[in-house]
A and B are shown apart, each in its own frame.
Chain A
């Protein structure tokens, strides 16, 4: 089931991206990577993804900016794609911004282990 789902992982910290990817791939997801915000946005616009995992603090564009551009000012852009923020920024302020910009989730990396993330994604997709 999970095998048909494609995930775009936008994360500038390679070891972290690889760590999650290992578990997600073992669960049967197809995972593609982008290592900065701009690259992430370009890839997200070039084809369909079922889920985009977005880090926030990245060079070129922040995850919130990528989210904003994907969802658009009306918040209705890319309706077929779930977008989940995956960050270590735990401020209410940022979490609220993501909620307003129509993110589907906001997850604090340090509070969740890869197997839990895989479980959540399975439920979400």
Chain B
């Protein structure tokens, strides 16, 4: 449209400018061709107008068209290209073949075009990059097995990932813009737990909170047990006030239970053949009357090895239970003195069997403590086993001493054995640690003292060792005394249940 108007104007201008000279030229031509004045005075159409038109106006009109066309063409081209440019088509250039001012305009516009194209393609690639990043973020968020959601300042949900949707059974559309407290209420024993955390600090300070084992109800009414981590963000430019991640523990629990069940089952399966090995060795030992001295020694060795295998399995199982937090201690009010006394007989039997001298030093008065008798028996058993292993037969002397002070009961198991090298002492209570020097001469798993430490610590006490190489060792564990206000002193109940590592029998210690 513009280009036509411009052409019309240009044409009109040329027309006016060229018609006037054409009229003059026509008139001069007419004067020149007239021979008489009269003829000159009486104009006639043929002799005046026609030549003027033929010689002046027609060429003028033709020239006007040609000039107008020549003059407006580059302008129109520029305009056309500008329109293409405005439509985002950068492929056609303005062409630099134009001369003079038009050439310069073309050149300048070409530059503008190139610059625009460059800027635009840069912007495009940045947009693509942002899109790709968004895509990645989307993939990451929605591939996570943990539920993730974000809240704005008013506590409304503005982001909800796929896992969150699957775990809760709520669609994104359903929760978007809803108050998190209403649609995602995490509870501990029925109480909402995160309200204060998410409300108090929103936007004021950056903080992180963690909760374990919270309850969350699915849309279908089933409850989930979840671990939750929430981050409150300070002045987030994207309007996210808090980000909450939650992990479904159902699967973790299932896996953990499977592992424990497997260990229990494996242990059961291993114990069955061991039962028969030990049992028939015992029968052989009781019934075989005509064994040679060597044969008897073989039998004793076999029995000892079978027992060792039993202890090894027992300790491995205990460690596995400690690690899984499955070894549950059931502290009850017990009289520690009676507890030690009930251990006396079986431990004495063992010491005599192995030719060690075992002596007990126990105070007369009752010692009330809160303890799990079966667990504490493990401690004594392990310490005595160690003392027997590290002392020599016939000369080995082992003492069990129980002392009390105001707050605690102190039990020491000392021996006159090989002792422990100073360098080994700090590793002594760690799992699978065995003193190098004795690995070849003694049997052990390196688990006994680790188990002792776990049990003593679980009772709020501590265990330590003092040792001189070549002279002997003294293991001491300290347990807190139970301070009773009433006359109740932890004196033996009517029915004492002696639960031991080796089962229990009402009123009787096992072993």
A interface, CB within 8 angstroms of B: 13, 15-16, 19-20, 22-23, 57, 84-85, 88-92, 95, 99, 104-116, 120, 123-124
Contact = CB atoms under 8 A, between A and B. Distances in A.
Given A57-B268, A113-B279, A92 B327 contact: yes
B508 A16 contact: no
A19 B327 contact: no
A13 B503 contact: no
A116 B508 CA distance: 13
Contacts of B286: 23, 115
A110 B317 CA distance: 14
B24 interface: no
Contacts of A90: 264, 267-268, 271, 314, 317
A22 B267 contact: no
Contacts of A105: 503-506, 508, 510
A108 B502 contact: yes
Given A13-B272, A114-B279, A123-B508, A95 B327 contact: no
A89 B501 contact: no
A115 B310 contact: no
Most buried by A among B267, B326, B506: B506
A108 to B, nearest CB: 5
Given A105-B503, A123-B508, A124-B508, A114 B268 contact: no
B279 A106 contact: no
Contacts of B276: 15-16, 19
B166 interface: no
Interface in B273-297: 274-276, 278-283, 286
Interface string B310-333: 100110010001000011100000
B280 A19 contact: yes
A13 B271 CA distance: 13
A95 B510 contact: no
B497 interface: yes
Contacts, number: 98
A85 to B, nearest CB: 8
Contacts of B503: 85, 95, 105-108, 111-112
A115 B275 CA distance: 13
B499 interface: yes
Interface in B353-387: none
Contacts of A13: 272
6 contacts: A19-B279, A90-B267, A95-B499, A106-B499, A107-B502, A113-B282
Given A95-B499, A113-B279, A89 B264 contact: yes
Nearest to A102: B506
With most chain B CB atoms within 10 A of its CB, the pick from A23, A108, A123 is A108
A22 B279 CA distance: 11
Contacts of A116: 282, 511
A120 B508 contact: yes
A99 B271 CA distance: 22
Interface of B: 264, 267-268, 271-272, 274-276, 278-283, 286, 310, 313-314, 317, 321, 326-328, 497, 499, 501-506, 508, 510-511
Contacts of A88: 267-268, 271-272, 275
Contacts of A23: 282-283, 286
Contacts of B328: 92
Contacts of A22: 283
Given A19-B276, A113-B279, A120 B271 contact: no
A51 B272 CA distance: 23
B504 A106 contact: yes
Given A107-B510, A113-B282, 16 more contacts: A23-B283, A88-B271, A90-B267, A90-B314, A95-B504, A109-B272, A110-B271, A110-B310, A110-B313, A111-B502, A112-B502, A112-B503, A112-B510, A114-B279, A115-B282, A124-B505
A84 B505 contact: yes
Nearest to B317: A90
B508 A109 contact: no
Nearest to B277: A110
Contacts of B267: 88, 90
Contacts of B326: 92
B502 to A, nearest CB: 4
Contacts of B283: 19, 22-23, 114
B373 to A, nearest CB: 13
B348 to A, nearest CB: 15
Of B274, B275, B328, B511, most buried by chain A (CB within 10 Å of CB) is B275
Contacts of B310: 110-111
Given A19-B276, A90-B317, A123-B508, A111 B501 contact: yes
A78 to B, nearest CB: 15
Nearest to A103: B506
Contacts of A124: 505, 508
A111 B505 CA distance: 14
Contact of A111 (B280, B314, B497): B314
Given A115-B282, A115-B286, A124-B508, A110 B275 contact: yes
A111 B279 CA distance: 10
A76 B267 CA distance: 33
A92 B264 CA distance: 11
Contacts of A111: 310, 314, 501-503, 511
A108 B314 CA distance: 11
B266 to A, nearest CB: 11
A57 B271 CA distance: 13
A8 B505 CA distance: 18
A115 B310 CA distance: 17
Contacts of B271: 88, 90, 108-110
